Amino acid sequence: MKDAKEQDKNLYQLMFQTATEGLIVANKYGQIELVNPRASELFGYDKEELLSLTVDDLLPKHLKTKHVQHRESFMESPRKRSMGIGFDLIGVRKDGSSFPLEISLNHFIDNGEPKAMALIMDVTKRKEQEAEIKLLNKHLEKRVLQRTKQLDESQKLYKLIAQNFPNGTINVFDSEFNYVFTEGAELFKRGITSEKLIGKYYLDRLPEELSSLMHEILENALQGKNEKHEIRHQNQYYLVSTVGLNNDEGEIDRVLLVEQNITERKLAEETTKEALSKEKLLNELKSRFVSMASHEFRTPLSTVLSSLALLEKYDAAGIAENKPKHYKRIKSSVRHLTNLLNDFLSLEKVEAGKINLAMEQLDVKTTLEELVDQHKQMAKDKQIINYEHQGELMMTTDQNMLQIMCSNLLSNAIKYSSNDSTIRLSSSMEDDSLTIKVKDQGIGIPYEDQENMFSSFFRAKNAVNIEGTGLGLNIVSRYLQLLKGTITFESVPDEGTTFTVIIPNHHKNEADITD
């Protein structure tokens, strides 16, 4: 289990350090708390220098005040914001130079505090391409009615740029949304030539679920509404931008549509977010484990030490009447420590896949009677454990697993029931399977906690002050998966709980024994 955690942590660190986009995590006040090497490279600061700044320090002076307002508004009502959706930003390097950038924002809660994660991309080259395309469009609009030779020369340059547009296409449509022009690397990847598309209706090429959306976007462009949209289709992400093109009379009669496949960028963003989430979960599990283990081991050890100290005093004073009570406390504490260690070792074996089924034929009634006798010594004052069996006696299963599962269920029944209560254990062999029921008159399980009872380290809210690791039921559930069995329970708070375990008898199916 430790190795798996370390591997996940190492993978997260590797992804974070080698990400091709800059990564900055800031608190609600804009103070930078975490950066990756690419962020340092983009802004020209050392890591330590960036950690002493706020995100506002990375913007031009004339944008800082406005950005503070945007940032505070975002932290008050956080929402996911993808790259390039209506926001053009300028970053300022340490040497004072500036550059255009795109920022994708995500929010998350860390130890109760809101945090913002920014994925930063230098879009200088793309901006240069966009500027070049806008300039070319302007020239095209002015020269629509000029001589054919001039128009051809312009379109040749347009086509050359568009053919080399990476991961997308550049398209021009008439007012009916028929292709006037189309080029781009994405067409080449699909084996489509631009000549085959000229004059054809663009929306006919789209799947039905996208056609109505794109029709609305293109209609808006004809009305002068230039827009950017991020669209997902069949696990692919596209950034589409539309611009209405004017004729010589100043009327919009064509639409420029730029499509760019941004799937790789989105996957990188989602992978980074998932890695951060896994790291947070691992840290929470580690903290819970350390806290629980330290508390659970400290209490019985303290009991043993205090009882031994008192026994020494009794020996010195020749007092014998209080000794049995302290011997009993020592034995109980040692049993508790043994159960803790058994839980940890069982969990480690299951996590590591080191458990092999050891099938053998056994007498169910005799096995469970011996287990009941052992647990009667652990019972509280005036607690009664009743056991009864019905049906056949012999079955084939893993005896060690059976004993551990029943021991966990009986121990829980004892632990969560009061003095002077009755615990009922029953077993029956029917339809070639063993059914075991453990019923107590204990504190029960709160309804809101019942769905989590088989999770690792989980403790119901009414049991936090009672000794336990939160592993017992999880181990029972995992053992039953190996034995192809099931476990269910019914519980009413303050009235008691009944656990029902069903284990198949393997003796009639040798294949099950070797699975």
CATH number, domain with residue 72: 3.30.450.20
**Would you place residue 56 in the very low, low, confident or very high pLDDT band (cuts 50, 70, 90)?**
confident
Contact residues for 419 (Cβ-Cβ < 8 A; gap 6+): 380, 381, 382, 383
65 plus 146 within the same structural domain: no
Q: Quick one: 176 and 54 in the same domain?
A: no
Residues 290-306 as b/e (b if ≥16 CB within 10 A, e otherwise) read eebeeebeeebeebbee
User: How many structural domains are present in the chain?
Assistant: 3
Residues 362, 509, single domain; the answer is yes
Classify burial at 358, counting beta carbons within 10 Å of its beta carbon; exposed 0-12, middle 13-18, buried 19 or more. exposed
Mean pLDDT of 356-374: 89
- Residues 254, 130 share a domain: yes
Do 67 and 25 share a structural domain? yes
* 504 and 360 fall within a common domain: yes
Q: Which of 452, 384, 442 is nearest to 412 (CA)?
A: 442
pLDDT at 165 over 80: no
* 52 is a domain residue: yes
User: What is the reported pLDDT for 351?
Assistant: 60
- Identify whether residues 509 and 361 lie together within a single domain: yes
Dump pLDDT digits (tens) for 62-111.
877 777 777 777 767 776 655 445 456 888 999 999 998 888 888 888 88
Angle between helices 323-352 and 472-482 (to 10 degrees): 40
Summarised one tens digit per residue, pLDDT across range 368-396 is 998 888 888 778 888 999 999 999 999 99
pTM of the model: 0.41
- Please choose, from the candidates 75, 58, 61, the residue with its C-alpha nearest in 3D space to the C-alpha of residue 22: 58
Statement: residue 363 has pLDDT above 90:
yes
- The answer as to whether 79 is a domain residue is yes
Residues 6+ apart with CB under 8 A from 235: 263
**For residue 164, is it within any domain?**
yes
How confident is the model over 338-364, as a mean pLDDT? 71
183 in Cβ contact with 165 (< 8 Å): yes
Whether 343 contacts 351, CB under 8 Å:
no
- pLDDT band of residue 302 (cuts 50, 70, 90) is low
30 touches 68 (CB < 8 A): yes
Does residue 386 contact residue 353 with C-beta atoms inside 8 Å?
Answer: no
Q: Can you tell me the distance from the alpha carbon of 150 to that of 143, in angstroms, rounded to the nearest whole number?
A: 8
Q: How confident is the model at residue 196 (pLDDT cuts 50, 70, 90)?
A: confident
98 and 136 share a domain? no
Q: Indicate which CATH number applies to the domain containing 411.
A: 3.30.565.10
Q: What is the mean pLDDT of residues 118-147?
A: 80
Q: 364 lies in which domain range?
A: 355-514
C-beta atoms surrounding 167 within 10 Å:
17
Same domain, 507 and 364: yes
pLDDT at 7 over 50: yes
Domain boundary pick from 122, 148, 164: 122
Choosing from 229, 261, 293, the residue where a domain stops is 261
3-state secondary structure of 144: coil
Same domain, 66 and 132: no
**Residue 62 lies inside a defined structural domain of this protein:** yes
Which residues lie closer than 8 Å to 477 by C-beta, 6 or more apart? 454, 487
Burial class (CB in 10 A: 0-12, 13-18, 19+), 346: buried
User: What distance in Å separates the CA atoms of residue 367 and residue 431, rounded to the nearest whole number?
Assistant: 20
CA dist., res. 340 & res. 342, Å (int): 5
Q: What's at 460, amino acid-wise?
A: A
Summarize pLDDT for 205-240 with one digit per residue, the tens: 888 888 888 888 889 988 988 888 888 877 888 888
Name 35's bridge partners. Answer: 24
Better-predicted residue by pLDDT, 341 or 34? 34
Mean pLDDT of the chain: 79
Using one digit for the tens of pLDDT, what is the confidence trace for 404-440?
889 889 988 998 899 889 999 999 998 889 999 999 9
pLDDT at 512: 44
Q: SS3 for 205-264, per residue?
A: HCCHHHHHHHHHHHHHHHCCCCEEEEEEECCEEEEEEEEEEECCCCCEEEEEEEEEECHH
Answer yes or no: is 9 within a domain.
no
Chain position carrying tokens 């599990």: 285
Count how many residues are written for the chain: 515
Question: Final residue of a domain: which of 261, 287, 321?
Answer: 261
Residue 267 neighbours by CB distance under 10 Å: 12
* Residue 328 domain flag: no
For residue 333, tell me if it sits in a domain.
no
pLDDT higher than threshold 70 for residue 347:
no
Q: Are residues 30 and 136 in the same domain?
A: no
Q: Is residue 293, in this structure, part of any structural domain at all? A: no
Quick one: 369 and 497 in the same domain?
yes
Residue with tokens 């294949």: 511
